[in-house]
Amino acid sequence: MSVIYDSSTGQYSLHTENYSYIMLEKEGFLLHLYWGEKTFGDCTYMFREQGRAAFSPRMENCDGFILDDVPLEYPCWGRADMRTPALEITNPDGSVIVDLRVKNRRIEKGKPSIKGLPAIYVENEDECETLVVSMYDEVSNISVELYYCVLEKYDIITRFARIVNKGNDTVYINRAASCALDFDHINFDVISNYGTHCRERQIERASLKHGRFIMSSRRGASSHVHNPFMILTSPNADEVSGDAYGFVLVYSGSFSSEIAANQFDSARAVIGLNPENFTWRLDSGEEFTTPECVLSYSSEGLDTLSYNFSRVFRERLCRGKYRDIRRPVLLNSWEACYFSFDSDRLMKIGDSCAELGIELMVIDDGWFGKRDHDRCSLGDWFVNEQKLKGGIKRISDYLNEKGVKLGIWFEPEMISPDSELYQKHPDWCLHYKNRPRSEGRYQLILDLTRQDVCDYVFESVANILREGGISYVKWDFNRNMSEAGSILLDATRGREVDFRYYLGLYSVLERLNQEFPDVLFESCSGGGGRFDVGMLYYMPQVWTSDNSDAIERLRIQYGTSLVYPMSAMSAHVSASPNHQTGHVTSFYTRSNVALTGSFGYELDPTSLSVEEQKMVSETTRLFKEYGEILAKGRYHRLRDPHNEPCSAWCTVSEDKSVCIATYVLTHVRMYGNNERIKLRGLDHDAIYKERFSGVCYRGDQLMNFGLHAPISHEFGSILWILEKVEQ
């Protein structure tokens, strides 16, 4: 049993395969006791009332119980806890108080879904046990159910809260986090992602100091800037040792993740919707459910924490037929042609794809309306017959005959002011009356809080897909929100737009998933501006970054690997010199870097030399052979490109019979780069033969001494493929 409640002591114990999470019910409060390596028995002694008031008020009738000094599971604003709350509500009388006490609890088999929101799922009830703790505020008649879903085998606990207004009048939720958690010390490093367009998900690590450390987005998208996750580690934790706690939010809009070191040297983590951009009107009888937060812990450092997250997201968050199969090798037309193509050019590219073994060709931006540049036509999702004579069908028939599938780009959430759609529906975009509408990339965002607009977005994509011949959709989102008002929402609901927008978007994506189960959807937002597990629920891969430079991708991919599965990361070989950075990199290095994720090309195959064509065929063959292992195997970070003059990583198949390892040198130090790369995750006693050199090694040699990486020129690299041989 993974959830145990002891009514004699009030102790709640949640056990996964490798850790325990323990709480205590006391005076009606739900207190946090422990989260760490597996621990059993009566843990109630862990709660020590220290009585540290230090100007903080006491609770009435609770001798010495100082709310500001106890570890809470779902802290509320308004009483005597002065730290960051998880829940804040304005009552009908104007008071801003919620005072929740536990009323009862239940333990259920399986895992509930969350209506309208993406969430982890299970395939049978035995995979999960769920604890629901029901709390109530007798004065405001607010009930809150706290959900704890324990996926024992995955070492995962998920949390969310369901808030119901049982009173007769309207209340306003000002803040409703998915998860809050108190630690009794502040000896943590905080690891997070930061970045911008073309430089997403860089890693930053800092030791926690007193005060609040907040990573967030107010941009109406999870964004390039911060990613909706947070990792806390013990100060010396590394890839293979030390405590590592992770929190990942399953949401694609504005979020906040905070870790605060408070006055008594205790720390509080709070993760959820960004309260700076949020108020929710909850009428009598209505309920509100927060997005889900996914938690994991490892006592063996970051490698295992990343493994726990990537495994559960790949196996129990991603859905559909592509979840478990190798993704097709694709060629995307963007960096090959940008806007300048016609059917003839595309068919020539298709010929090359067929010759080189590339399985899918994607027509990126520019095939619809009158779009020859980025200043028009978003919303007009009909084929530009001047460019594509005979329409999409003609191209897909042509390609299919050659064994190549067709994919297509959409940016369905957007509207160009210069479009037929805008002529007809100038009020369909997010905006406020009498305010200017700021354009980003000459475009506005459709108001997906409206059902009629959601229906239009769904139909415009579905109509094209219903014509047949399309196996893949790249779904883009190329600006963030500003002046995000909806003219159909009344004045009390202005701060509901972000969340309502995502409910609308998720409903459209769900309908598309249901109607087109055979189409592979790839999410994109100027690359990785919405690389989050919310989107992954509907689309199992994401265009990782608009920066396709292999060297720049090293950090981006390294940062992404902290919580995301490699199969989620689209990685393409692009031209050299690279279009974004001008870096000149060998084809070998570009393909070695791209081989880490869902593999493809972002170049014009008709302009390749014979030598390059041979390399494309060979690399494509390699991905077809090893793509499944690369997706499902265990990924290990070996060298950190943020701190070292190189990067290295390896992926080991589940049965440890194959290991694919890569090393890239990013900065030459004269006579100083004779690296040895120690692999991880192999069978100690097994013999592995390296595919390209034919040399055999023992697993323990590969892990304890490692492989020489004799690269002495900048941007050089090595790919090793090691396969177990009979001993």
- Which residues of this protein are in contact with ligand GLA, per CB under 6 A? 334, 364-365, 374, 409, 476, 478, 524, 526-527, 543, 546
- Output the smallest distance, CB 695 to ligand GLA, in A: 40
Residue among 74, 132, 140 nearest 108 (CA): 132
* DSSP bridge partners of 695: none
Question: Smallest distance from the beta carbon of 370 to ligand GLA, in angstroms?
Answer: 15
* Strand partners of residue 101: 136
Beta bridge partners of 32: 23
**3 state DSSP class of 355:** helix
Find out whether 547 and 572 touch, Cβ atoms under 8 Å. Answer: no
Nearest-angstrom CA–CA distance, 442 and 13: 54
DSSP E strand stretches across 254-348: 255-261, 267-273, 280-282, 287-289, 293-298, 330-332
Q: Which helix (H) or strand (E) holds 311?
A: helix 301-316
Matching residue, tokens 């390609």: 399
**Per-position b or e across 311-335, b if 16+ CB within 10 A of its CB:** bbbbbbbbbbebeeebbbbbbbbbb
418 is a catalytic site residue: no
Structure-token pair, residue 617: 């065929």
Which residue in 137, 476, 532, 683 is the catalytic one? 476
Q: Are 288 and 243 in contact (CB under 8 A)?
A: no
- What CA–CA distance (Å, rounded) separates 542 from 529? 10
Structure tokens at 298: 């490892």
Distance between the two ends of the chain, CA-based, in angstroms? 41
Distance (Å, whole) CA 711 – CA 707: 12
Instruction: Work out the burial of residue 546: count CB atoms within 10 Å of its CB; fewer than 13 is exposed, 13-18 middle, 19 or more buried.
Output: buried
What tokens appear for 5 in the block? 């409640």
Active-site entry in 418, 498, 532, 546: 546
Q: CB within 8 A of 78, min separation 6: which ones?
A: 88, 89, 95, 96, 97, 98, 99
Q: How far apart are CA 555 and CA 198, in angstroms?
A: 11
CA 294 – CA 259 distance, rounded (Å): 16
Q: Measured from the CB atom, is 26 or 371 closer to ligand GLA?
A: 371
Return the amino acid letter for 521: F
Q: Where are the beta strands (DSSP E) in 307-399?
A: 330-332, 360-363
- Least separation in angstroms between CB 546 and ligand GLA: 5
Q: Which residue is nearest to ligand GLA (CB)?
A: 365
Cβ proximity to ligand GLA: between 297 and 367 the closer is: 367
Q: Which of 512, 647, 668, 653 is nearest to 593 (CA)?
A: 647
Return the percent helix, strand and coil in the chain, to nearest 5: 25, 35, 45
CA dihedral sign, ordered 144, 150, 151, 156: positive
- Per the CB < 8 A criterion, the answer to whether 273 and 256 are in contact is yes
Biggest CA pair distance of the chain? 83
**Which two tokens mark 604?**
């014009």
Residue of 39, 45, 61, 65 whose CA lies nearest to 53: 65
Distance CA 262, CA 264 (A): 6
CB closer to ligand GLA out of 127 and 364: 364
Instruction: Decide if 359 contacts 390 (C-beta within 8 A).
Output: no
CA distance 47 to 671: 57
Active site residue 69: no
Cα–Cα distance measured from residue 57 to residue 55, given in angstroms and rounded to the nearest whole number = 6
Residue 274 CA neighbour count, 13 Å, CB half: 24
Residue with tokens 């509080």: 268
Q: How far apart are CA 176 and CA 289, in angstroms?
A: 9
3-class secondary-structure state, position 163: strand
Residues with catalytic annotation? 476, 546
